[in-house]
Amino acid sequence: MAFWDLIFNKIEPEEGPSIRFGRFSDAYKDPAQYDSWDKSLLAYEQESYLESIRYFFEYLTDTHIQNAKWWEKDSKLYFELFQGSKKITGVADQNKLRGEARIAKGKELNVGLLRRLVEHNYALKYSRYALDEEQYISVVFDTFLLDGSPYKLYYALKEMSTQADKQDDLLVNEFDALEPINTGHVKHLPLKEKEIKFRFFKNEISKLFKSLKASKVSTPKFPEATGYMLLALCYKLDYLLAPEGTIMETFERINRQYLAKDQKNQIQKISKVKKEIDELDKIDEESFNQELYYTTSTFGISIPVNQQQIKDHILSELDKMDWFQKGKLKSFRLAIPSYIIGYALFNYAVPEPIKDLFHMYYRIIDNEYFIELGFTQNYLKEDHQLNIKTIKRSLKNVIKKYEKKYPNLKLDKDQINFHSLSTFSKSYLQLIAELDLTKMD
């Protein structure tokens, strides 16, 4: 950022180390990528299929993270994509495109493993699991370019890539006969960062169970209150730790099963979630560290949403804070805003200003964790009261960052109630719900 921007616009540089939070989303593309998408569609309609493929991979490529590359040789187009811990390779000619993502190598194969792969095949729409002569287990996709529209290519390569990235850790952990492959591009976290995250992980789980026990609230009588506490923790840990492998899958399973519209009642679901979290608490530090690493991805799994959808989500839950103000339920009150923000960051690709404001909420309520990681802004004073001046300055910076893209973006900081963390949380989310994110034409 230019020096004069710092002086006149008072936008402060990002403070702290370069640490990733939350889940990857491919919803935040630049105008050049969207232009390439339009060109890909046009070329496909004009039956210039290989040219359509070229523009398609320009659309997928994020030059900031180097997630993809492609090149041409002997009238063929070769490509490589990264999705988490997996590398996807492929080739296209004038007639056909084929992609492959190797998951693992089998030292020996058993019936249980092969049955699992066949079962997975039934759930796939575009791709399939395959086994080659060298005992490599892969996910493959192929199509004739005649019916390989950019839409089909996107959803097919996304399915293949996300399936390979998700299943490699799960299958290798479950079947001893498999060994991992193609993980050389994975970047492991510094040991100190892993230690801080493991300590935070254990402490937060311990605090949860202590809070539930101390509240003396009956789960059968108030299942919703317990549910908010459990889900708020899972979503927060997923965002702040950004784990991979079995820990990430556990959080996804909790989210999927708790919110499923099935025959199980809320009490049964809460019991299941408690058991899942209890199992997470048993993970030792060495196993935990193996699931913390940085990756590069091409496809996100979160659903893009707009401001109106975020507003509806916030307002549908926020008033429950008042109901939880009564008696024994008071200790559950802060679980509501944490759940609202965590659920959105876990399941949705939210607009960029909202994402920054949601991140800032975690930054405030878990201030000590961020300070320990090396961030310098202190959002709480020594007496653990809110640092109003710092919070207002950071809010101003967020608005300034996006004002060109969203010219109607305003946030009246005087509407925030700093009396307590509870009043702050509610008023903060009320302001976010009313933001105008109309883009500049």
Q: Do residue 172 and residue 206 come from a single domain?
A: no
Is residue 319 packed enough to be buried (19+ CB in 10 Å), middle (13-18) or exposed (0-12)? Answer: exposed
Q: Are 215 and 328 in contact (CB under 8 A)?
A: yes
pLDDT above 90 covers what percent of the chain?
65
Which of 134, 160, 180 is where one domain is finished?
A: 180
The reported pTM is 0.89
pLDDT score for 234: 97
pLDDT score for 205: 96
The predicted model gives 172-182 an average pLDDT of 79
Q: Is residue 233 part of a domain?
A: yes
The predicted model gives 150-175 an average pLDDT of 89
Q: Is residue 79 part of a domain?
A: yes
Amino acid at the residue 90: G
pLDDT score for 11: 45
Q: Do residue 322 and residue 416 come from a single domain?
A: yes
The predicted model gives 335-358 an average pLDDT of 96
Q: Encode pLDDT of 57-93 as tens digits.
A: 999 999 888 899 999 999 999 999 999 889 999 999 9
- Of residues 126 and 4, the one with the higher pLDDT is 126
CA-nearest of 325, 345, 296, 388 to 80 is 296
Q: Do residue 399 and residue 286 come from a single domain?
A: yes
- SS3 call for 80: strand
Enumerate helices (H) and strands (E) in the chain, giving the number of each: 17, 11
Q: pLDDT-based confidence at 9, cuts 50/70/90? A: very low
Q: Do residue 295 and residue 350 come from a single domain?
A: yes
Q: Which of 40-44, 217-221, 225-229, 259-263 has the lowest mean pLDDT?
A: 217-221
Q: Is residue 438 part of a domain?
A: no
- Is the predicted pLDDT of residue 6 greater than 50, yes or no? no
The predicted model gives 171-193 an average pLDDT of 81
pLDDT score for 203: 96
Q: Do residue 137 and residue 210 come from a single domain?
A: no
The predicted model gives 406-419 an average pLDDT of 91
Q: Find the helix or strand (DSSP H, E) in which 69 lies.
A: strand 68-73
Q: Match 């309609």 to its residue by tokens.
A: 45
Q: Encode pLDDT of 232-281 as tens digits.
A: 999 999 999 999 888 999 999 999 999 988 888 889 999 999 999 999 99
pLDDT score for 14: 47
Q: Do residue 123 and residue 234 come from a single domain?
A: no
Q: Do residue 157 and residue 65 come from a single domain?
A: yes
Total domain count, the chain: 2
Q: Are 348 and 305 in contact (CB under 8 A)?
A: yes
Q: How far is CA 28 from CA 38, 62, 300, 355, in A?
A: 16, 10, 10, 11
pLDDT score for 219: 64
CA-nearest of 154, 133, 36 to 141 is 154
Q: Do residue 174 and residue 193 come from a single domain?
A: no
pLDDT score for 109: 76
Neighbouring C-alpha atoms within 13 Å toward the C-beta of 235: 26
pLDDT score for 3: 44
CB neighbourhood size of 362 (10 A): 20
Q: Is residue 47 part of a domain?
A: yes
Distance (Å, whole) CA 328 – CA 207: 17
Q: Do residue 419 and residue 371 come from a single domain?
A: yes
Q: Is residue 130 part of a domain?
A: yes
Distance (Å, whole) CA 307 – CA 313: 10
Which of 130, 158, 180 is where one domain is finished?
A: 180
Q: Do residue 59 and residue 42 come from a single domain?
A: yes
pLDDT score for 15: 66
Look up the domain containing 394 and give its range: 188-433
pLDDT score for 112: 83
- Is the predicted pLDDT of residue 291 greater than 80, yes or no? yes
Distance (Å, whole) CA 416 – CA 215: 28
Q: pLDDT-based confidence at 327, cuts 50/70/90? A: low
pLDDT score for 183: 65
Which of 180, 211, 240 is where one domain is finished?
A: 180
Residues 6 or more apart whose Cβ sits within 8 Å of residue 9 = 400
Q: Are 85 and 165 in contact (CB under 8 A)?
A: yes
- Is the predicted pLDDT of residue 329 greater than 80, yes or no? no
Q: Is residue 441 part of a domain?
A: no
What CATH number corresponds to the domain at position 91?
3.30.1460.10
The predicted model gives 16-33 an average pLDDT of 90
Q: Do residue 307 and residue 247 come from a single domain?
A: yes
- SS3 call for 128: strand
pLDDT score for 5: 43
Distance (Å, whole) CA 255 – CA 273: 9
Residues 6 or more apart whose Cβ sits within 8 Å of residue 168 = 85, 86, 103, 104, 180
Q: Is residue 26 part of a domain?
A: no
Query: With the CA atoms of 144, 147, 151 and 157 taken in that order, what torsion angle do they form, in degrees rounded to the nearest 10?
Result: -20
Q: Is 20 left (phi over 0), alpha (psi -120 to 50) or beta?
A: beta
Q: Do residue 115 and residue 52 come from a single domain?
A: yes
Q: Which of 212-216, 246-250, 350-354 has the lowest mean pLDDT?
A: 212-216
Mean pLDDT across the chain: 89
- Of residues 31 and 176, the one with the higher pLDDT is 31
pLDDT score for 131: 86
Q: Is residue 23 part of a domain?
A: no
Q: Encode pLDDT of 369-401 as tens digits.
A: 999 999 999 999 888 899 999 999 999 999 999
Output 212-215 pairs: Cβ under 8 A, ≥24 positions apart.
Answer: 214/331, 215/328, 215/329, 215/331, 215/332
